[in-house]
Amino acid sequence: MSDDVRLRPVEPDDLETFFEQEHDPEAVRRSHFPPRDRETFMTHWATKVLGDPGVLVRAVSVDGETAGNVVSWWMGDRRFIGYWLGRRYWGRGVGTRALALFLELERVRPLHADPHAANTGSVRLLERAGFRRAGTERHGDQEHIMLVLDADGARAS
């Protein structure tokens, strides 16, 4: 593979790939994000992601294959970013490149991210992209690191 990383609009067939990626046991362990059943997952994507004009979402492709997604959304008055990549794309710079491309499209600053505290790979990826630590938050009994990309934040490369 040449690892030609690109972003493109999400296509209907991508949702099956995203669903499978969400159910990968190692991804679940690292993200501390519980996988949803198919109906809940598909409804969420149809209404809360693709059906919401305030959401910016792109599929990540590597050498033409769907590798994952990057999405930004409003939560109250804060703009958040999240991403999910299939395990076979971890550790190859795909996340770094996809995030850099997405940050060229998503111009809202500040931009927030809140990965699980134990998801060190995701925290490092965001910090390399210029996000700074802004404290911690709890989601239920889970600790998350709040990271913020300000208007003067560095860019991923």
What DSSP letter does each residue of 115-130 carry, written as one string? Answer: -BTT-HHHHHHHHHTT
Mean predicted confidence (pLDDT) in 6-12: 97
Reported confidence tier of residue 151, pLDDT bands at 50, 70, 90: confident
Quick one: pLDDT at residue 47? Answer: 97
d(CA 132, CA 135): 9
Whether 153 has a pLDDT exceeding 80, the answer reads no
Q: What is the mean pLDDT of residues 18-34?
A: 94
Give this prediction's pTM: 0.92
DSSP state of 157: -
The yes-or-no verdict on residue 104 having pLDDT over 70 is yes
Indicate left, alpha or beta for 152 from its phi (over 0: left) and psi (-120 to 50: alpha). Answer: alpha
Q: Dihedrals φ, ψ of 20, to 5°?
A: -60, -40
Q: Which residue has better confidence, 152 or 64?
A: 64
Q: Given pLDDT bands bounded at 50, 70 and 90, which one contains residue 76? A: very high
Residue 147: predicted pLDDT: 98
Region 100-128: mean pLDDT is 96
Q: Which amino acid is it at 82?
A: G
**Residue 19 CA to chain centroid, in angstroms?**
14
CA distance 157 to 101: 9
For residue 143, list its beta bridge partners: 138
Q: Provide the pLDDT confidence category of residue 2 given band limits of 50, 70 and 90.
A: low
- Positive or negative, the CA dihedral 30, 33, 35, 39 is negative
Per-chain mean pLDDT for the chain? 94
Strands of 56-62's sheet in order across:
5-8, 56-62, 65-75, 78-85, 111-113, 142-149, 132-139
